Amino acid sequence: MNDRPLLKIDNLAVSFPVTRDATRRVRAVNGVSLSIFPQQTLAVVGESGCGKSVSAMASLQLVPTPPGRYESGAIWWTPDPAKPPTDLLKCSDRQMQRIRGGQIAMIFQEPMTSLNPVYTIGDQIREAILLHQHIDRGQATRVAAEALAEVGIAAPESRLKEYPHQLSGGMRQRVMIAMALACKPKLLLADEPTTALDVTIQAQILELLRRIQNEHGMSVLLITHDLGVVAENADAVAVMYAGRVVEYGSVDDVFDNPLHPYTRGLFASMPILGKRHDRLMTIPGNVPNPAHFPTGCPFHPRCIDVNDDTRCSTDEPPLLEVSPRHWAACWHCTGYDHATQSPPSVTHRRSHQTAAPA
């Protein structure tokens, strides 16, 4: 496996206007750096509104501009390690149309509404195929049927003629995945692919994604707020809070030794199977309103580790490599004093055998 990242988000910042006349803008994403390596699954976790989706959408230039604006940063895309990377933020619309769906595919949270109600499943998968591959309609129909069979849909030929409203939620998400995979993308952006589904379907869909990832050797950026999903599926984890990455490392490092108090809070607020809880622990307070971010560390008003340390409320901690291959952004975490500055990238991939069996 080579060590060039497939996708490298470098200091990305995206802002949106708060007021009608756009005199004040907030940064939904503020200096995010991430790397995804070939065949790796990177999980991005965080509360609603912390900038997870915007980071993923920015990779496909899908953030609507206006009102949104890319303030800084670059997104380096290296589909072929032998060639120099391209900056996705500088690509023209026409170049982006070739990349979207062809090289980078995306699946969305809402399988119920992500399919056009007036077209059959077959029409929609075929459209995605015909946009990126130079084959005729008959061949495209066969490819579509194969894609449906691959995501575990029985009788794919007859399903192709059905409309989205005739399918259940799990089936629709399978169709979305089939659509995304029909062109064999190198990277799949999965924006909370299982949030709208019930638990058993969730497990099936994740298992499906894992199997297809192994077979096709693609990378997955998995956006979720379910830590169980992360533990089962991810190789590396990026924890986001208020538009910043606050902790980054391999799934083992982050789960065994969470450094940032926010990450620790997330783990503490999860129920443990078999253990009796009277009340789950919570992180006090709410996600700060993006229009009024606190100065200093964005997490400090909610942080239980702040011991009248003025540094937390005045200076924002940068994301530093606290221990080898493990980054965190907190003045108080162990080892932060002699941490080094380095671009966050974890090449770790778990061996496939450790993944939970079907």
Nearest distance, CB of residue 298 and another protein, angstroms: 28
Select 66 or 324, whichever has its Cβ closest to another protein: 66
Nearest distance, CB of residue 67 and another protein, angstroms: 10
Tell me which long-range contacts 294-302 makes (C-beta under 8 A, separation of at least 24): 297/329, 297/330, 297/331, 298/241, 298/242, 298/243, 298/244, 299/241, 299/242, 299/246, 299/260, 299/261, 299/262, 299/330, 302/262
Select 163 or 336, whichever has its Cβ closest to another protein: 163
Select 99 or 240, whichever has its Cβ closest to another protein: 99
Nearest distance, CB of residue 131 and another protein, angstroms: 5
Q: Do 343 and 74 touch, CB atoms closer than 8 A?
A: no
Nearest distance, CB of residue 53 and another protein, angstroms: 11
Sign for the CA dihedral angle at 88, 42, 306, 285 comes to: positive
What is the DSSP pairing of strand 69-77 with strand 86-87?
antiparallel
Select 30 or 55, whichever has its Cβ closest to another protein: 55
C-alpha to C-alpha distance for 129 and 121, rounded to whole angstroms: 13
Nearest distance, CB of residue 90 and another protein, angstroms: 18
Select 180 or 303, whichever has its Cβ closest to another protein: 180
CA atoms within 13 A on the CB side of 87: 9
- Provide the 3-class DSSP secondary structure of residue 104: strand
Where does the chain show beta strands of DSSP type E? 7-17, 25-36, 41-45, 69-77, 86-87, 104-107, 187-191, 219-224, 236-241, 244-250, 320-323, 326-328
Select 119 or 293, whichever has its Cβ closest to another protein: 119
C-alpha to C-alpha distance for 237 and 210, rounded to whole angstroms: 16
How close are the terminal C-alpha atoms of the chain, in Å?
26
Nearest distance, CB of residue 101 and another protein, angstroms: 4
Nearest distance, CB of residue 219 and another protein, angstroms: 16
* Residue numbers at the binding site for another protein (CB under 8 A): 60, 62, 66, 93-94, 97-102, 105-106, 108, 110, 113-119, 127-128, 131-132, 163, 165-166, 168, 176, 179-180
Select 105 or 209, whichever has its Cβ closest to another protein: 105
C-alpha to C-alpha distance for 355 and 118, rounded to whole angstroms: 39
